[in-house]
Structure 1
Amino acid sequence: MKTNAKLQNDVQNAIRWEPLLHAAEIGVTVKDGVVSLTGIVDSYTKKVEAENAAKKVAGVRALVENIEVKLPNSWEKTDAEVAKEVLDAFKSNYSIPDENIKTKVEDGWVTLEGELPWNYQREEAERAVKYLSGVKGVLNKLKIKSELDDAIQKKDIENALRRSSIYDNGIKVSVSGTTVTLTGTANSLYQKEEAGRIAWKTPGIWNVKNELEVEYDFD
């Protein structure tokens, strides 16, 4: 069991433990497992790293992220320059079908739209963008439309979850057409999201409804 003060301290230490964030000014507040992050960082990468570090702390049930990205003047780029970097990053990554992605850049924020056959491609597209200089944020609106017509097997997903280090009996799987739904409980936000990532690897999948509830005892 953790108190709010203990969870706050754990999240603060997790953020400080990341080498990229040692100099970042990030505020952490906690109430009943809901963690809020605030502050200003000089790159979108740091914003993402702080969010990921917080998610992995046991007891975090939900995350409210209000970190602002303010780029140093020397890092500022025009939207046209950022857009060119994004397109070049896609073309240099063989796993990203860039012809299926529409990119919009506005005030340093990159919006990705279109349809892709696999979720790992959607994740890779976002990953390729978020480390580029000049990027202040990413809105990933890419949708999945599988080119496979394989029937989704519930047992295959359950077996994949059992093989992972995050599995416990609190996770239940149901399948309806091309949609997989996860219900039950997870012991951390990280476990919930990792279960969703595992489900997304299913051949023929179009959608994952991750309805897992994060449960953790607080004093």
Structure 2
Amino acid sequence: MKKSNDVLSKEVIEGLKWEPLLNSNNIEVSVHDGTVTLSGAVDNYNNKKQAEQTVKHISGVKSVIDNVEVKLSASSIRNDTDITSSVIKALKEKWAIPNHRVTVTVKDGWVTLGGILHWNFQRKAADNAIRYLDGVRGVIDEIKIQAEIRNEIEKEIVEKALTRSWILDINNIKVRVDGKTIFLSGFVSSLFQKEEAERIAWDTTGVWYVDNELIVEFD
């Protein structure tokens, strides 16, 4: 059943307060037709990401607009040179990330990641590696995925992979393949399902891009 804006707003606020490490007092919530907009401020980048992820797991949420700012305490502010060194070190310590393939630039605490990786999970690992670092205000992801394996992507293989997930109803999901791109369309019943379908598609051998056009719709 579709939730009213007031009901969903209340549940989002309660969900944010439930997170033990997230100080949600300075996060503002507005809801319109299933779209949740977060604004206000938190004191580190990890809390910004945590707030967004928390909301995405709440039933009734169709999409999240994250306008939360990171306002660092005086003790957490660092210059861009120090942040760059910390980011490079953190990336090197992650075995999943070929450090010679990721470029790092930092301006006013904003980290821009560039370069080419073979898998999307490597791109996710790069973001996760730096989300806890002091001084980081945000991450701009400009990494491109170019699969090392040049296999042709078969639509049936993607569909079988989606079928193996117990949370997805493959009957409501359409898959189209064009070269190295996988297109997902149709309907799912939660934002979590939409992201799970995209994650599975990204794990396909040979994929360079996933266009997720799935619509979140509730009974």
TM-score class, shorter: over 0.9
Pairing of 1:137-156 with structure 2 (within 5 A): 137-156=138-157
Deviation at 1:162, TM superposition (A): 1.6
Report the more deviating stretch, 167-176 or 81-90.
Answer: 167-176
Alignment pair present for 1:171 and 2:176: no
**Which stretches in structure 2 are left out of the alignment for 5+ residues?**
none
Moved more, 81-90 or 58-67: 58-67
Question: Deviation of residue 26 (structure 1)?
Answer: 1.2
**Partner secondary structure for residue 134 of structure 2:** coil
What code does the residue aligned with 2:190 have?
Answer: S
Q: Which residue of 1 aligns with 2:63?
A: 62
* Contact 1:61-1:216 at 8 Å conserved across structures: no
User: Does the 8 Å contact 1:24/1:40 carry over to 2?
Assistant: no
Q: Any idea what SS the aligned residue of 2:6 has?
A: helix
The answer to whether the 8 A contact 1:24-1:41 is kept is no
Aligned to 2:125: 124
Structure 1: 5+ residue stretches without partners:
none
Please report how far the alpha carbon of residue 166 of structure 1 lies from its aligned counterpart in structure 2 after TM superposition: 2.5
Partners of 2:22 and 2:123 in 1: CA distance: 26
Q: Whole-Å Cα distance in 2 between the matches of residues 149 and 162 of structure 1? A: 24
2:104 corresponds to which residue? 103
Cα deviation code 1:49-89 (max 9, x no counterpart): 00001111111112111111111101110000000000001
In 2, Cα distance between the equivalents of 1:173 and 1:204?
A: 16
**Is the CA contact 2:16–2:24 (under 8 Å) kept in the aligned structure 1?**
no
Of 197, 212, 215, 1:213 maps to 215
What corresponds to 1:185 in structure 2? 187
Residues 191-211 of structure 1, C-alpha deviations (whole Å, 9 max, x = no match): 111110110000011110101
Which is further off, 5-14 or 77-86?
A: 5-14
Normalised to the residue count of structure 2, the TM-score between the two structures is 0.95
> For residue 210 of structure 1, what is the amino acid of its counterpart?
N
1:173-216 CA distance string (max 9 Å, x none): 11111111000012122211111011000001111010111123
Q: Within the alignment, does 1:39 sit opposite 2:44 as a pair?
A: no
Corresponding residue for residue 9 of structure 2: 8
Which amino acid counterpart does residue 204 of structure 1 have in structure 2? G
Query: Counterparts of 1:9 and 1:130 in 2: how far apart (Å)?
Result: 28
Counterpart residue number, 1:50: 51
After superposition, the C-alpha distances for 1:82-139 in whole angstroms (9 at most, x for unaligned) are 0000000111111101111111100000000111111111111111111211111001
Which residue number in structure 2 is paired with residue 85 of structure 1?
86
Q: Which runs of 4+ in 1 moved over 4 A?
A: none
Q: Secondary structure at the match of 2:27?
A: strand
Whether the 8 Å contact between 1:25 and 1:39 is mirrored in structure 2 is yes
Match of residue 204 from structure 2: 202
Does structure 1 conserve the Cα–Cα contact (< 8 Å) formed by 2:180 and 2:209?
Answer: yes
Letter in structure 1 aligned against 2:215 = E
User: 1: CA distance between counterparts of 2:160 and 2:11?
Assistant: 32
Residues 40 and 68, structure 1, Cα contact 8 Å, conserved in 2: yes
Give the SS at the match of 1:20. Answer: coil
**Conserved? CA contact 2:13–2:29, under 8 Å:** yes
Query: Match for 2:172: what amino acid?
Result: G
Q: Please, which moves more after superposition, 154-163 or 66-75? A: 154-163
Task: Check 1:47–1:78 CA distance in 2 against 1; reply closer, same or farther (3 A cut).
Answer: same
- Matched residue pairs, number? 217
Amino acid at match of 1:215: E
Greater RCO (Cα-Cα under 8 Å, separation 6 or more): 1
